[in-house]
Chains A and B, each alone.
Chain A
Amino acid sequence: MGKISEAQQAFLRRAARHRRLVRLGRWWIFLLFLALWEGTARLGWLNDFIFSSPSRLAVSFGSMARDGSIFLHTGITLGETLVSFGLVTALSLLLALLFWRCRLAAEILEPYLVMLNSLPKSALAPVLIVWLGGNVRTIIVAAVSLAVFGSTLTLLTGFREVDEDKIKLIRSLGGGSRDIMAKVMIPHSIPLLVSTMKVNIGLCLVGVIIGEFLAARAGLGYLIIYGSQVFKMDYVILSIVILCACSAGLYRLIGLLEKRVS
């Protein structure tokens, strides 16, 4: 690299300043929020029995961390989310490839897929409990059912947008359907796949929490319901805070994956 010009240096300084401001602003909002919450609770303006407070959260996190229960609940929720996310990704990819291969089946089944996709899946949860019992299976099926149909439809639409001429190219070079999938469709759809994964990871978390509300003995969803029933709002709000962190972390994970493939 040669010498950096005056103007370029000024530009770099401005860009760095901009980045600093963004980071600072984010931290400020976070700290201001904590301070306001804690302050109003201390002053008695907020009823901390109902609204909890950062210090109360810290105390209950401390005690739950000591007996390990908070890690158990978080771990179970995360585990269920990752398992259902894996299932959704694999299933929707498989279904979309299958439907792309077999137009007739896709055309016949399309209205059913659309219907299942728009059906509010939380309505299914009580049915699932009766059918499958109040266990992990129900939770995972609930989460998968929430995301799999939409994801399949999105991927199928993406596959169908692959340039006809690229398919013609593969055929003219002597390739078959398998080559079209492996050489053109899947690589072409990777950005789409990653963006559906981003949606799916969020949906799976939602599905898992719905499932845990109804059919769990452990997990953050269970902790929320339990906390609200025994009026321990610290538990409820602590679970929500941890959920915030989990969803941000999971999203980041997919973001890292995205960076690696592109």
Chain B
Amino acid sequence: MEPVLELRRVGYAYHTLAGETEALRDISFSVQPGEFVSLVGPSGCGKSTLLSLICGLLRPERGEILIQGAQVGYMLQKDHLLEWRSVYRNAVLGLEMARQLTPEAEARVRRMLETYGLSGFADARPSELSGGRRQRAALIRTLALEPDLLLLDEPFSALDYQTRLEVGDDIGTILRKEGKTALLVTHDLAEAISLGSRVLVLSKRPAQVKAVVPVSFSAEEGGRRLSPLERRNAPEFSGYFQRIWKEVREDG
């Protein structure tokens, strides 16, 4: 199968008058359709830079990024719902700007709001929503454009621990149900393992791909997928955790 995303020896550096900071060096990997890839690495190693490059907000200085299908959805760390719009109007923001706000698209967004427990809040202000609901609304805003590839930049890091587990579980399940291909950046190893089908470990800056750890659970062999919370309780979980922890640690 043709990969949705392929990076070939991508390099990027930030320039200031004080000097050059190399953020990424020789990053190569690919993501297959339907795959959920987690990217972990020490903080400040250039993970967000990588997503900005893939999303096209920045241009790589070296190497190339190939994307199958034009639509890339990007979910930022904070939800950034616009307070002067209702939840529904926030959810259709992308469609509105792309001039794709057709009745079908509107119906799709309404349906998603309903499926994910937000239909009662469609006309509410974002500030009336809890952290978890806000994050779900932000996800719907991203999914409304029907992206072929979804980039998640630590989307749960702004939430408290309990909400974080719940929303992580929620969003993982939603993405799997919609059959989306996703690339998740996180510094939470447990999150990376519980959501990803593969974990990429990046090194300290300048970031390079240090290890690729495919994640599989014996309970999933029959084709059944474990939910992220179930994965956390699976016997293999701690083994993966140790292994990835070691990879990340060796660096520092």
Contacts and interface: CB of A to CB of B under 8 A. Distances in A.
Contacts of A163: 80
Nearest to B95: A173
Interface in A168-187: 168-175, 179, 183-184, 187
Contacts of A165: 76-78, 80
Contact of A183 (B74, B77, B82, B145): B82
B57 A172 contact: yes
B57 A175 contact: no
B33 interface: no
Interface residues on B, range: 10 to 19
A183 B78 CA distance: 18
A19 interface: no
Contacts of A166: 80, 82
Interface in A138-191: 163, 165-166, 168-175, 179, 183-184, 187-188, 190
Contacts of A179: 97
B161 interface: no
Contacts of B78: 165
B73 to A, nearest CB: 8
Contacts, number: 42
Interface string B98-126: 10000000000000000000000000000
Contacts of B34: none
A192 to B, nearest CB: 13
A174 B80 contact: no
B171 interface: no
A187 B82 contact: yes
Interface in B55-84: 55, 57, 73-74, 76-78, 80, 82, 84
Interface centre among B74, B94, B97, B142 (most CB of A within 10 A): B97
Contacts of B141: 173
Contacts of A171: 57
Contacts of B94: 173-175
A175 B74 CA distance: 13
A169 B84 CA distance: 15
B82 A184 contact: yes
A77 B233 CA distance: 77
A172 B55 contact: yes
A165 B93 CA distance: 15
A174 B82 contact: no
B70 to A, nearest CB: 10
Nearest to B71: A174
A188 to B, nearest CB: 8
A180 to B, nearest CB: 10
Contacts of B145: 173-174
B57 A174 contact: no
B76 A168 contact: yes
B76 A172 contact: yes
B97 A174 contact: yes
Given A165-B78, A183-B82, A170 B57 contact: no
Interface centre among B57, B77, B93, B142 (most CB of A within 10 A): B93
Contacts of B76: 165, 168-169, 172
Contacts of B77: 165
Interface of B: 52, 55, 57, 73-74, 76-78, 80, 82, 84, 93-94, 97-98, 141-142, 145
Interface of A: 163, 165-166, 168-175, 179, 183-184, 187-188, 190
Given A168-B57, A169-B80, A183-B82, 20 more contacts: A163-B80, A165-B77, A165-B80, A170-B97, A171-B57, A172-B55, A172-B73, A173-B74, A173-B93, A173-B142, A173-B145, A174-B94, A174-B97, A174-B145, A175-B94, A175-B97, A179-B97, A183-B97, A188-B84, A190-B84
14 contacts: A168-B57, A169-B80, A170-B97, A171-B57, A172-B74, A173-B93, A173-B145, A174-B94, A174-B97, A174-B98, A175-B97, A179-B97, A183-B82, A187-B84
